[in-house]
Amino acid sequence: MADVNPGLEGVLAAETTISLVDGSAGRLLYRGYEIGDLASHGTFDSVTALLLEGEWPAAPASLPPAALDEPVLAALHGLPPAAAPLDALRSGVSAWGAARGLDRPPTPDEARELIALAPAIVGGFARLRNGDDPVDPAGADGLGVAGRLLHAITGEVPEASRERALDAYFVCCAEHGLNASTFTARVVTSTQSDLASAVCGAIGALKGPLHGGAPSGVRDQLTQIGSVEHAERWIREALGRGERLMGFGHRIYRTTDPRAEALRRVAEGLAGDEAWLKLAIDVEDVALRLLAEHKPNRVLKTNVEYYASVVLDGVGLPPDLYTPAFAVARTAGWCAHVLEQAEHGRLIRPDAAYVGPAMRPLPL
Protein backbone atom coordinates (compact mmCIF):
# COMPACT_ATOMS: atom_id res chain seq x y z
CA MET A 1 0.00 0.00 0.00
CA ALA A 2 1.15 3.59 -0.73
CA ASP A 3 2.57 5.73 2.11
CA VAL A 4 0.02 7.27 4.46
CA ASN A 5 -0.30 11.06 4.21
CA PRO A 6 -2.42 11.99 7.25
CA GLY A 7 -2.53 15.75 6.50
CA LEU A 8 -3.29 15.12 2.79
CA GLU A 9 -0.64 17.70 1.78
CA GLY A 10 -0.11 17.73 -1.96
CA VAL A 11 -3.19 15.60 -2.64
CA LEU A 12 -5.30 17.12 -5.43
CA ALA A 13 -8.88 16.23 -4.50
CA ALA A 14 -10.74 18.68 -6.76
CA GLU A 15 -10.43 21.01 -9.72
CA THR A 16 -11.63 24.49 -8.87
CA THR A 17 -12.11 27.80 -10.65
CA ILE A 18 -12.89 29.67 -7.42
CA SER A 19 -9.52 30.67 -6.00
CA LEU A 20 -5.79 30.20 -6.44
CA VAL A 21 -3.70 29.95 -3.28
CA ASP A 22 -0.07 30.22 -4.39
CA GLY A 23 1.96 29.40 -1.30
CA SER A 24 5.42 30.04 -2.70
CA ALA A 25 4.61 33.39 -4.34
CA GLY A 26 2.39 34.48 -1.40
CA ARG A 27 -0.46 35.15 -3.79
CA LEU A 28 -4.22 34.69 -3.39
CA LEU A 29 -6.57 35.20 -6.34
CA TYR A 30 -10.37 34.95 -6.29
CA ARG A 31 -11.45 33.99 -9.83
CA GLY A 32 -8.25 35.62 -11.09
CA TYR A 33 -8.40 38.86 -9.06
CA GLU A 34 -5.73 39.64 -6.45
CA ILE A 35 -6.81 39.75 -2.84
CA GLY A 36 -5.06 43.10 -2.22
CA ASP A 37 -7.07 44.75 -5.05
CA LEU A 38 -10.32 43.16 -3.90
CA ALA A 39 -9.74 44.31 -0.30
CA SER A 40 -8.89 47.87 -1.40
CA HIS A 41 -11.52 48.38 -4.10
CA GLY A 42 -14.20 45.69 -3.70
CA THR A 43 -16.94 45.03 -1.20
CA PHE A 44 -17.80 41.75 0.45
CA ASP A 45 -21.22 41.67 -1.23
CA SER A 46 -19.62 42.06 -4.68
CA VAL A 47 -16.96 39.48 -3.81
CA THR A 48 -19.77 37.11 -2.82
CA ALA A 49 -21.33 37.60 -6.26
CA LEU A 50 -17.93 36.96 -7.85
CA LEU A 51 -17.41 33.75 -5.87
CA LEU A 52 -20.91 32.39 -6.46
CA GLU A 53 -21.36 33.47 -10.08
CA GLY A 54 -17.83 33.53 -11.45
CA GLU A 55 -17.68 37.14 -12.73
CA TRP A 56 -17.30 40.55 -11.14
CA PRO A 57 -20.82 42.07 -10.99
CA ALA A 58 -21.53 44.85 -13.51
CA ALA A 59 -23.00 47.04 -10.72
CA PRO A 60 -22.05 46.82 -7.00
CA ALA A 61 -23.89 43.82 -5.56
CA SER A 62 -25.97 43.97 -2.41
CA LEU A 63 -27.44 41.00 -0.56
CA PRO A 64 -30.89 41.77 0.88
CA PRO A 65 -31.09 41.85 4.70
CA ALA A 66 -32.50 38.72 6.33
CA ALA A 67 -34.61 38.47 9.47
CA LEU A 68 -34.50 35.56 11.91
CA ASP A 69 -37.59 33.46 11.35
CA GLU A 70 -39.30 31.44 14.06
CA PRO A 71 -37.39 28.10 13.79
CA VAL A 72 -34.02 29.86 13.89
CA LEU A 73 -35.07 32.09 16.80
CA ALA A 74 -36.38 29.05 18.68
CA ALA A 75 -33.04 27.27 18.16
CA LEU A 76 -31.13 30.31 19.51
CA HIS A 77 -33.51 30.71 22.46
CA GLY A 78 -32.93 27.04 23.32
CA LEU A 79 -29.18 27.56 23.86
CA PRO A 80 -27.61 28.45 27.20
CA PRO A 81 -26.26 32.05 27.21
CA ALA A 82 -22.79 30.62 27.84
CA ALA A 83 -22.87 28.57 24.62
CA ALA A 84 -20.03 29.22 22.17
CA PRO A 85 -21.31 31.73 19.56
CA LEU A 86 -19.95 29.49 16.82
CA ASP A 87 -22.16 26.68 18.15
CA ALA A 88 -25.06 29.14 17.97
CA LEU A 89 -24.25 29.86 14.33
CA ARG A 90 -24.10 26.14 13.58
CA SER A 91 -27.44 25.59 15.39
CA GLY A 92 -29.06 28.51 13.56
CA VAL A 93 -27.87 27.27 10.17
CA SER A 94 -29.13 23.79 11.03
CA ALA A 95 -32.57 25.13 12.05
CA TRP A 96 -32.72 27.24 8.88
CA GLY A 97 -31.91 24.19 6.73
CA ALA A 98 -34.47 22.02 8.50
CA ALA A 99 -37.23 24.62 8.17
CA ARG A 100 -36.30 25.65 4.64
CA GLY A 101 -36.73 22.12 3.29
CA LEU A 102 -33.64 22.36 1.11
CA ASP A 103 -33.65 20.51 -2.14
CA ARG A 104 -30.91 18.94 -4.25
CA PRO A 105 -28.83 20.24 -5.95
CA PRO A 106 -27.94 23.31 -3.85
CA THR A 107 -28.68 26.60 -5.64
CA PRO A 108 -27.10 30.08 -5.73
CA ASP A 109 -30.37 31.47 -4.30
CA GLU A 110 -30.09 29.21 -1.24
CA ALA A 111 -26.46 30.29 -0.91
CA ARG A 112 -27.32 34.02 -1.03
CA GLU A 113 -30.09 33.50 1.52
CA LEU A 114 -27.76 31.73 3.92
CA ILE A 115 -24.92 34.26 3.54
CA ALA A 116 -27.36 37.10 4.28
CA LEU A 117 -28.80 35.22 7.27
CA ALA A 118 -25.47 34.37 8.91
CA PRO A 119 -24.80 37.86 10.42
CA ALA A 120 -28.35 37.96 11.77
CA ILE A 121 -27.79 34.62 13.55
CA VAL A 122 -24.48 35.65 15.12
CA GLY A 123 -25.79 39.10 16.09
CA GLY A 124 -29.10 37.65 17.30
CA PHE A 125 -27.36 35.22 19.63
CA ALA A 126 -24.95 37.91 20.85
CA ARG A 127 -27.98 39.96 21.93
CA LEU A 128 -30.12 37.11 23.30
CA ARG A 129 -27.33 35.94 25.60
CA ASN A 130 -27.33 39.43 27.16
CA GLY A 131 -31.11 39.43 27.56
CA ASP A 132 -31.69 41.79 24.58
CA ASP A 133 -34.01 41.14 21.65
CA PRO A 134 -32.56 40.65 18.15
CA VAL A 135 -32.69 43.87 16.11
CA ASP A 136 -34.96 44.50 13.16
CA PRO A 137 -32.71 44.17 10.06
CA ALA A 138 -34.75 46.90 8.34
CA GLY A 139 -32.69 49.40 10.38
CA ALA A 140 -29.60 48.16 8.54
CA ASP A 141 -30.87 49.12 5.10
CA GLY A 142 -28.03 50.24 2.86
CA LEU A 143 -25.40 48.30 4.78
CA GLY A 144 -23.53 45.33 3.34
CA VAL A 145 -23.27 41.95 5.07
CA ALA A 146 -20.28 43.03 7.20
CA GLY A 147 -21.98 46.24 8.35
CA ARG A 148 -25.11 44.27 9.11
CA LEU A 149 -23.15 42.03 11.45
CA LEU A 150 -22.13 45.10 13.50
CA HIS A 151 -25.71 46.39 13.39
CA ALA A 152 -27.12 43.00 14.43
CA ILE A 153 -24.81 42.96 17.46
CA THR A 154 -25.10 46.56 18.67
CA GLY A 155 -28.45 47.65 17.22
CA GLU A 156 -26.71 50.74 15.85
CA VAL A 157 -25.60 51.73 12.37
CA PRO A 158 -21.78 51.45 12.53
CA GLU A 159 -19.39 54.30 11.76
CA ALA A 160 -18.40 54.18 8.07
CA SER A 161 -14.71 53.56 8.86
CA ARG A 162 -15.54 50.54 11.03
CA GLU A 163 -17.94 49.14 8.49
CA ARG A 164 -15.31 49.54 5.77
CA ALA A 165 -12.62 47.86 7.90
CA LEU A 166 -14.83 44.87 8.74
CA ASP A 167 -15.90 44.65 5.11
CA ALA A 168 -12.24 44.47 4.02
CA TYR A 169 -11.66 41.77 6.64
CA PHE A 170 -14.66 39.85 5.22
CA VAL A 171 -13.22 40.16 1.71
CA CYS A 172 -9.89 38.72 2.94
CA CYS A 173 -11.57 35.80 4.70
CA ALA A 174 -14.27 34.96 2.15
CA GLU A 175 -12.40 32.15 0.44
CA HIS A 176 -9.19 30.18 0.68
CA GLY A 177 -9.03 27.06 -1.44
CA LEU A 178 -9.34 23.59 -0.01
CA ASN A 179 -8.72 24.44 3.65
CA ALA A 180 -10.09 22.06 6.31
CA SER A 181 -13.56 23.61 6.62
CA THR A 182 -14.06 24.01 2.86
CA PHE A 183 -12.89 20.46 2.30
CA THR A 184 -15.40 19.34 4.94
CA ALA A 185 -18.17 21.21 3.09
CA ARG A 186 -17.16 19.50 -0.15
CA VAL A 187 -17.04 16.05 1.50
CA VAL A 188 -20.58 16.53 2.84
CA THR A 189 -21.78 17.83 -0.55
CA SER A 190 -20.12 14.89 -2.32
CA THR A 191 -22.66 12.57 -0.66
CA GLN A 192 -25.43 14.65 -2.32
CA SER A 193 -26.38 16.14 1.04
CA ASP A 194 -27.77 19.70 1.29
CA LEU A 195 -26.23 23.16 1.65
CA ALA A 196 -27.08 23.64 5.35
CA SER A 197 -25.55 20.26 6.28
CA ALA A 198 -22.37 21.13 4.36
CA VAL A 199 -22.07 24.54 6.06
CA CYS A 200 -22.78 23.03 9.52
CA GLY A 201 -19.91 20.58 8.95
CA ALA A 202 -17.67 23.41 7.79
CA ILE A 203 -18.46 25.48 10.90
CA GLY A 204 -17.48 22.48 13.03
CA ALA A 205 -14.13 22.23 11.24
CA LEU A 206 -13.53 25.98 11.59
CA LYS A 207 -13.99 25.83 15.36
CA GLY A 208 -10.57 24.34 16.07
CA PRO A 209 -7.70 26.70 16.99
CA LEU A 210 -5.49 25.38 14.20
CA HIS A 211 -7.98 26.72 11.66
CA GLY A 212 -10.34 29.53 12.61
CA GLY A 213 -9.89 29.79 16.34
CA ALA A 214 -6.61 31.73 16.26
CA PRO A 215 -7.48 35.48 16.27
CA SER A 216 -8.69 35.53 19.86
CA GLY A 217 -5.54 33.53 20.63
CA VAL A 218 -3.48 36.33 19.05
CA ARG A 219 -5.26 38.84 21.26
CA ASP A 220 -4.59 36.77 24.41
CA GLN A 221 -0.96 36.43 23.35
CA LEU A 222 -0.54 40.21 22.88
CA THR A 223 -2.32 40.86 26.18
CA GLN A 224 0.02 38.49 28.01
CA ILE A 225 3.12 39.99 26.35
CA GLY A 226 1.87 43.44 27.35
CA SER A 227 4.82 45.50 26.06
CA VAL A 228 7.50 45.01 23.43
CA GLU A 229 10.21 44.89 26.14
CA HIS A 230 8.68 41.63 27.41
CA ALA A 231 8.17 40.13 23.96
CA GLU A 232 11.49 38.33 23.55
CA ARG A 233 11.40 36.61 26.93
CA TRP A 234 7.71 35.69 26.64
CA ILE A 235 8.12 34.25 23.14
CA ARG A 236 11.31 32.33 23.98
CA GLU A 237 9.58 30.77 26.98
CA ALA A 238 6.47 29.85 24.96
CA LEU A 239 8.55 28.27 22.19
CA GLY A 240 10.68 26.53 24.83
CA ARG A 241 7.50 24.92 26.22
CA GLY A 242 6.76 23.66 22.69
CA GLU A 243 3.84 26.05 22.21
CA ARG A 244 2.88 27.57 18.87
CA LEU A 245 2.71 31.30 18.40
CA MET A 246 -0.78 32.23 17.30
CA GLY A 247 -0.93 34.18 14.05
CA PHE A 248 2.21 32.62 12.55
CA GLY A 249 2.83 29.70 10.22
CA HIS A 250 0.65 28.29 7.49
CA ARG A 251 0.15 24.97 5.79
CA ILE A 252 0.42 26.51 2.30
CA TYR A 253 2.20 29.90 2.46
CA ARG A 254 5.98 29.77 2.56
CA THR A 255 6.12 33.56 2.74
CA THR A 256 3.92 36.21 4.33
CA ASP A 257 0.23 35.46 3.92
CA PRO A 258 -1.02 38.12 1.42
CA ARG A 259 -4.15 38.53 3.57
CA ALA A 260 -1.95 39.51 6.53
CA GLU A 261 -0.42 42.29 4.41
CA ALA A 262 -3.86 43.52 3.29
CA LEU A 263 -5.20 43.44 6.84
CA ARG A 264 -2.18 45.24 8.22
CA ARG A 265 -3.01 48.10 5.83
CA VAL A 266 -6.64 48.00 7.01
CA ALA A 267 -5.51 48.02 10.67
CA GLU A 268 -3.21 50.98 10.00
CA GLY A 269 -6.08 52.91 8.38
CA LEU A 270 -8.51 52.24 11.20
CA ALA A 271 -8.64 55.05 13.76
CA GLY A 272 -8.45 53.06 16.96
CA ASP A 273 -6.03 52.03 19.64
CA GLU A 274 -2.68 53.25 18.28
CA ALA A 275 -0.70 51.70 21.14
CA TRP A 276 -2.26 48.28 20.54
CA LEU A 277 -1.43 48.44 16.81
CA LYS A 278 2.15 49.48 17.59
CA LEU A 279 2.46 46.60 20.04
CA ALA A 280 1.23 44.17 17.37
CA ILE A 281 3.71 45.52 14.78
CA ASP A 282 6.65 45.45 17.20
CA VAL A 283 5.82 41.99 18.56
CA GLU A 284 5.50 40.67 14.99
CA ASP A 285 9.11 41.68 14.30
CA VAL A 286 10.38 39.93 17.42
CA ALA A 287 8.26 36.84 16.75
CA LEU A 288 9.48 36.51 13.15
CA ARG A 289 13.11 36.76 14.29
CA LEU A 290 12.67 34.16 17.04
CA LEU A 291 10.63 31.77 14.87
CA ALA A 292 13.40 31.84 12.24
CA GLU A 293 15.89 30.93 14.99
CA HIS A 294 13.57 28.29 16.46
CA LYS A 295 12.77 26.51 13.17
CA PRO A 296 15.55 27.43 10.72
CA ASN A 297 14.33 24.84 8.22
CA ARG A 298 10.69 25.87 8.23
CA VAL A 299 9.48 29.25 6.95
CA LEU A 300 7.11 30.56 9.61
CA LYS A 301 5.64 33.93 8.65
CA THR A 302 2.69 36.04 9.72
CA ASN A 303 -0.69 34.59 8.81
CA VAL A 304 -4.12 36.16 8.30
CA GLU A 305 -5.15 35.74 11.93
CA TYR A 306 -2.48 38.08 13.28
CA TYR A 307 -3.78 41.39 11.88
CA ALA A 308 -7.32 40.03 11.81
CA SER A 309 -7.23 40.20 15.57
CA VAL A 310 -6.16 43.87 15.46
CA VAL A 311 -8.90 44.76 12.94
CA LEU A 312 -11.62 42.87 14.80
CA ASP A 313 -10.58 44.50 18.06
CA GLY A 314 -10.53 47.89 16.31
CA VAL A 315 -14.10 47.56 15.02
CA GLY A 316 -15.25 46.74 18.54
CA LEU A 317 -16.08 43.04 18.27
CA PRO A 318 -15.81 41.08 21.52
CA PRO A 319 -13.10 38.37 21.22
CA ASP A 320 -15.54 35.47 21.38
CA LEU A 321 -17.20 36.79 18.20
CA TYR A 322 -13.94 36.84 16.20
CA THR A 323 -14.27 33.29 14.86
CA PRO A 324 -18.04 33.62 14.24
CA ALA A 325 -17.28 36.77 12.20
CA PHE A 326 -14.71 34.77 10.24
CA ALA A 327 -17.37 32.08 9.70
CA VAL A 328 -19.90 34.62 8.38
CA ALA A 329 -17.34 35.77 5.81
CA ARG A 330 -16.21 32.25 4.90
CA THR A 331 -19.82 31.16 4.32
CA ALA A 332 -19.40 32.79 0.89
CA GLY A 333 -16.44 30.54 0.00
CA TRP A 334 -18.06 27.44 1.50
CA CYS A 335 -21.20 28.04 -0.59
CA ALA A 336 -19.19 28.60 -3.79
CA HIS A 337 -17.40 25.28 -3.21
CA VAL A 338 -20.65 23.49 -2.39
CA LEU A 339 -22.10 24.66 -5.73
CA GLU A 340 -18.94 23.65 -7.59
CA GLN A 341 -18.74 20.25 -5.88
CA ALA A 342 -22.43 19.57 -6.54
CA GLU A 343 -21.94 20.34 -10.21
CA HIS A 344 -18.69 18.53 -10.94
CA GLY A 345 -17.68 16.45 -7.93
CA ARG A 346 -17.51 12.78 -7.14
CA LEU A 347 -18.17 11.03 -3.81
CA ILE A 348 -15.06 11.71 -1.69
CA ARG A 349 -13.96 8.49 -0.07
CA PRO A 350 -10.25 7.99 0.71
CA ASP A 351 -8.75 4.83 2.18
CA ALA A 352 -7.12 4.17 5.56
CA ALA A 353 -4.15 1.85 6.11
CA TYR A 354 -5.31 -0.74 8.64
CA VAL A 355 -2.68 -1.13 11.39
CA GLY A 356 -4.84 -2.92 14.00
CA PRO A 357 -4.67 -6.54 15.17
CA ALA A 358 -4.56 -9.34 12.62
CA MET A 359 -7.68 -11.50 12.35
CA ARG A 360 -8.19 -13.36 15.64
CA PRO A 361 -10.85 -15.46 17.33
CA LEU A 362 -13.39 -13.72 19.63
CA PRO A 363 -12.47 -14.64 23.25
CA LEU A 364 -15.72 -16.46 24.18
Query: Is 124 or 258 the residue whose CB approaches ligand COA more closely?
Result: 258
Cβ at position 186, least distance to ligand COA in Å = 19
Cβ at position 322, least distance to ligand COA in Å = 12
Closest CA to 324 of 158, 203, 164, 176: 203
Cβ at position 194, least distance to ligand COA in Å = 28
Residue nearest to ligand COA (CB): 249
Query: Is 44 or 322 the residue whose CB approaches ligand COA more closely?
Result: 322
Residues that bind ligand COA (CB under 6 A): 210, 214, 244-251, 295, 298, 300, 303-305
As a whole number of angstroms, the distance between CA 63 and CA 116 comes to 6
State yes or no: is 293 an active-site residue: no
Cβ at position 107, least distance to ligand COA in Å = 30
CA dist 50 to 22, 32, 168, 311, Å?
A: 19, 10, 15, 24
Three-class SS of the chain: CCCCCCCCCCCCCCCCCCEEEECCCCEEEECCEEHHHHHHHCCHHHHHHHHHHCCCCCCCCCCCCCCCCHHHHHHHHCCCCCCCHHHHHHHHHHHHHHHHCCCCCCCHHHHHHHHHHHHHHHHHHHHHCCCCCCCCHHHHCCCCHHHHHHHHHHCCCCCHHHHHHHHHHHHHHCCCCCCHHHHHHHHHHHCCCCHHHHHHHHHHHHCCCCCCCHHHHHHHHHHHHCCHHHHHHHHHHHHHCCCCCCCECCCCCCCCCHHHHHHHHHHHHCCCCHHHHHHHHHHHHHHHHHHHHHCCCCCCCECHHHHHHHHHHHCCCCHHHHHHHHHHHHHHHHHHHHHHHHHHCCCCCCCCCCCCCCCCCCCC
As a whole number of angstroms, the distance between CA 228 and CA 52 comes to 43
Query: Is 148 or 264 the residue whose CB approaches ligand COA more closely?
Result: 264
State yes or no: is 176 an active-site residue: no
Cβ at position 260, least distance to ligand COA in Å = 9
Catalytic residue from among 250, 284, 337, 340 = 250
Query: Is 27 or 244 the residue whose CB approaches ligand COA more closely?
Result: 244
Query: Is 72 or 245 the residue whose CB approaches ligand COA more closely?
Result: 245
Cβ at position 267, least distance to ligand COA in Å = 16
Catalytic residue from among 163, 175, 305, 340 = 305
Cβ at position 301, least distance to ligand COA in Å = 10
Instruction: Let me know: does 108 contact 339? Beta carbons within 8 Å.
Output: yes
Catalytic residues: 250, 305
